[in-house]
Amino acid sequence: MDAVTTAARPGRSRPRAVAALLGPAFVAAIAYVDPGNVASNISAGAEYGYLLVWVIVAANVMAALVQYLSAKLGVVTGRSLPQIVRERAGRPVRLAYWGQAELAAMATDLAEVVGGAIALHLLFGLPLLLGGVITGVVSMALLAVQNRRGQQPFERVIIGLLAIIAIGFLAGVVIAPPSPSGVVSGLVPRFEGSQSVLLAAAMIGATVMPHAIYLHSGLTRDRHGRTEPGPARKRLLGATRVDVGLAMVIAGAVNLAMLLMAAATLAGSDIDSLESAHAAVRDALGSWAALLLAVGLLASGLASTSVGAYAGAMIMEGLLSRTVPLLLRRVVTLIPALIILAVGVDPTRALIVSQVVLSFGIPFALIPLVRFTADRALMGGDVNHRATTWAAWIIAVVISALNLLLIYLTVTGA
């Protein structure tokens, strides 16, 4: 029995009916609390205090709309964003499109495996290469849950890891509460020099991820299938808005907690890596706070690399109509990250480069998403409202421009 039918059973209360439909957005939200977010948010708080609070808020508001549009596309059409791109593009375009999407997915995986390896090094002193192998093995176990038990058990595991991530990063704010006046002042949009612009671009680039945009449409497709127009679809879209709203509030709170913790306790510290951030937290807040941060980082790496591999498989299946066993794909995409760790590349530098590579993929995901959800022939009566389309185009332009700026500033060293 599908989720829509189950939720609509007589006698089931409306809150329980809505709760039965939640889950896909929480899986996609893992992309918003991955190790790349940890690095950029803690660096921003340590260097600029509360200055860039508004960036966190703006990035999550934009991400919420983007993720809802992706989820809506899957609900209304019963197809994923990559599938619709395949249907509307010729073979050469499909292959090129898959190439850039695959590159972005691999860059995502690199950052997440490296983040997990760093967390294991901080917790247990393990060599980074061994930590990378363990991260890969655990992520394969998580993917085996999806492969053998289905999507909903996988969603529950990921939601559990999201809870651990939230506890790990919210703990610092509880131990050392931020300045209320500082938080309020940080809501006023402004910059202080080119470095703050670079950090803002990195924070937004680490927030809106191309693989999460592709993935969410496929998650709702697999969870709910295509729902015909009518009351059932209306209820499902309403539940999807709740799903996205709750997931993005949690992701936004975690991101904000990272920045506020750094602003309150690490201001003036030289934070140039996740290791230095961990050491600074230990010195400022004690060993328990540092332990919780490392545990949160580990959960982030494990969950995000599993979700990233899942997204990569969905992208390939959608664009090429080729299915590779999920666990085999996990092994293949793990290899570049392990090579990076084996040859001794600075892990922080690897994280930065991965974010730059990700930046190239943002427009390729955002622009088709806005076009398709604004297409009445495709979406029918659930086509975007004109104001929604305008807001989505503005977001697409802003995020794409900031990611291009991030690439330029990183390459030129400005």
For 273-285, the pLDDT digits (tens) are 888 889 989 998 8
Average pLDDT rounded to a whole number, residues 93-106: 86
**Amino acid present at 51:** L
| pLDDT score of 17 | 63
193/214 Cα distance (integer angstroms): 34
Which of 395, 396, 398 minimizes the C-alpha distance to 368? 396
| pLDDT score of 312 | 87
| pLDDT score of 2 | 45
| pLDDT score of 14 | 63
Q: Binning pLDDT at 50, 70 and 90, where does residue 3 land?
A: very low
Q: Binning pLDDT at 50, 70 and 90, where does residue 267 land?
A: confident
Average pLDDT rounded to a whole number, residues 358-363: 80
Considering only residues 392 and 323, tell me which one the structure prediction assigns the higher pLDDT: 392
189/295 Cα distance (integer angstroms): 32
What rounded mean pLDDT belongs to the chain? Answer: 86
| pLDDT score of 18 | 62
| pLDDT score of 12 | 52
pLDDT at 55 over 70: yes
| pLDDT score of 5 | 42
pLDDT at 236 over 50: yes
Percentage above 90 pLDDT, the chain: 46
Query: Of the ranges 34-38, 202-206, 386-390, 401-405, which one carries the lowest mean pLDDT score?
Result: 202-206
pLDDT at 232 over 70: yes
Average pLDDT rounded to a whole number, residues 302-312: 89
| pLDDT score of 168 | 92
| pLDDT score of 310 | 87
Average pLDDT rounded to a whole number, residues 259-271: 86
Which of 390, 338, 363 minimizes the C-alpha distance to 112? 338
pLDDT at 328 over 70: yes
For the beta carbon of residue 146, count every other beta carbon within 10 angstroms. 23
Residue partners of 140: CB distance under 8 A and separation at least 6: 327, 330, 331
Which of 51, 380, 397, 13 minimizes the C-alpha distance to 208? 397
Please compute, for residue 93, the number of CA atoms within 13 A of its CA located in the half-sphere on the CB side: 9
Q: Binning pLDDT at 50, 70 and 90, where does residue 9 land?
A: very low
CA 248 to chain centre: 10
Average pLDDT rounded to a whole number, residues 338-358: 80
Angle at 45 between CA 41 and CA 49, to 5 degrees: 155
Considering only residues 111 and 85, tell me which one the structure prediction assigns the higher pLDDT: 85
Average pLDDT rounded to a whole number, residues 196-207: 77
Average pLDDT rounded to a whole number, residues 384-412: 85
Considering only residues 222 and 405, tell me which one the structure prediction assigns the higher pLDDT: 222
Percentage above 70 pLDDT, the chain: 93
| pLDDT score of 1 | 37
Q: Binning pLDDT at 50, 70 and 90, where does residue 161 land?
A: very high
- Dig out the tokens for 305 from the structure: 């690399």
| pLDDT score of 91 | 83
142/44 Cα distance (integer angstroms): 32
- Per DSSP, helices labelled H in 34-80 are 35-48, 53-77
Average pLDDT rounded to a whole number, residues 291-303: 93
pLDDT at 187 over 90: yes
Considering only residues 19 and 131, tell me which one the structure prediction assigns the higher pLDDT: 131
Q: Binning pLDDT at 50, 70 and 90, where does residue 57 land?
A: very high
CB-count exposure of residue 387 (10 Å: 0-12, 13-18, 19+): exposed
